[in-house]
């Protein structure tokens, strides 16, 4: 895999916002159900740091049980959006391996894992949490927007030897979210505190915000990235 994107399926057509100067860090950001990497590439461009590379892959198009088996961009199948809904365990694990392949690719290109942040929104945020917590490399942090921890009953045991026990997590949630209720986000934050060092979990909520982002949230994301990925 000598720097060739073709060997990493998700990288071949991912939207990449390159740094304006030498890239010493990377943010891999995963979109939500039915979306593409373009919308988050645009959002991240507005808060970009010149030495950071932003990679926004597109999920494969698959039938989604939750949406009457309609085919749409989805990282894995979704059966429901409640803490006790059945989950697509095989699909989640396969998707996580595909994201880990992107991390490995960036490492081969000279960006160390402790200079990589994994993030996402909704289903993408869920996958970013699962992938980072089961990753064998020590990452810089996780940005988890309007989401949950998949296969939560498997944790903390599933956290790979505690490599990311001290990882910083920024979890944000709209208080009026009708899709993934705030309560689910709060339960996720509590669960995360049993997996990583509790003081490393920030849970920020935004009044009046539904299942979407807002300028205040994006500023929190920018500050989090700046703090964890300082210029070197």
Q: Name the active-site residue from 74, 128, 146, 177.
A: 177
The Cα–Cα gap between 76 and 32 comes to 11
Would you state the pLDDT for residue 194? Answer: 94
Tell me the pLDDT band of 9, cut-offs 50, 70 and 90.
Answer: confident
Would you state the pLDDT for residue 8? Answer: 87
Mean pLDDT, residues 70-92 taken together? 96
Mean pLDDT, residues 192-196 taken together? 96
Tell me the pLDDT band of 83, cut-offs 50, 70 and 90.
Answer: confident
User: Mind giving me the DSSP string for 48-93?
Assistant: --TTEEEEEPPPPEEEEGGGTTEEEE-SS-BS-SSTTS-B-HHHHH
77 is catalytic: no
The Cα–Cα gap between 170 and 93 comes to 22
List the domain boundaries for the chain: 5-228
Mean pLDDT, residues 116-134 taken together? 98
Higher pLDDT, 111 or 2: 111
Per residue in 89-118, pLDDT (tens digit) is 999 999 999 999 999 999 999 999 999 999
Per residue in 10-58, pLDDT (tens digit) is 998 999 999 999 999 999 999 999 999 999 999 999 999 999 999 999 9
Would you state the pLDDT for residue 56? Answer: 98
Q: Name the active-site residue from 122, 128, 146, 213.
A: 122
In the numeric block, the tokens 């979210």 are attached to 177
Would you state the pLDDT for residue 2? Answer: 38
Q: Name the active-site residue from 39, 58, 211, 212.
A: 211
Would you state the pLDDT for residue 196? Answer: 96
Would you state the pLDDT for residue 3? Answer: 44
Per residue in 139-181, pLDDT (tens digit) is 999 999 999 999 999 998 888 778 999 999 999 999 999 999 9
The Cα–Cα gap between 120 and 186 comes to 17
Q: Of all helices (H) and strands (E), which one includes residue 144?
A: strand 141-145
38 is catalytic: no
Mean pLDDT, residues 129-137 taken together? 96
Q: How many CB atoms lie within 10 A of CB 215?
A: 10
Would you state the pLDDT for residue 161? Answer: 73
84 is catalytic: no
Fold for the domain defined by 5-228: Rossmann fold (3.40.50)
Asked if the bond preceding 144 is cis, omega within 30° of 0, the reply is: no
């Amino acid at each position: 895999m000598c720097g060739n994107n073709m060997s990493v399926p998700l990288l071949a057509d991912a939207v990449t916002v390159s740094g304006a100067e030498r890239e010493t860090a990377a943010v891999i950001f995963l979109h939500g159900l039915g979306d593409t990497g373009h919308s988050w590439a645009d959002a991240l461009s507005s808060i970009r740091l010149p030495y950071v590379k932003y990679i926004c892959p597109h999920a494969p198009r698959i039938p989604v049980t939750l949406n009457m088996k309609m085919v749409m961009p989805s990282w894995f199948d979704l059966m429901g959006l409640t803490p006790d809904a059945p989950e697509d365990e095989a699909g989640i694990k396969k998707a996580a391996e595909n994201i880990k392949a992107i991390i490995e690719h960036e490492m081969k290109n000279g960006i160390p894992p402790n200079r990589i942040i994994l993030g996402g929104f909704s289903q993408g945020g869920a996958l970013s949490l699962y992938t980072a917590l089961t990753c064998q490399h020590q990452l810089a942090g996780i940005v988890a927007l309007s989401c949950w921890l998949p296969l939560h009953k498997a944790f903390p045991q599933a956290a790979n030897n505690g490599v990311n026990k001290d990882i910083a997590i920024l979890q944000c949630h709209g208080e009026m979210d009708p899709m993934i209720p705030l309560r689910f986000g709060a339960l996720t934050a509590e669960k995360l505190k049993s997996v990583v060092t509790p003081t490393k979990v920030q849970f920020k909520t935004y009044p009046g915000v539904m299942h979407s982002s807002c300028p205040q949230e994006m500023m929190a994301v920018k500050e989090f990235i700046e703090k964890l990925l300082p210029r070197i």
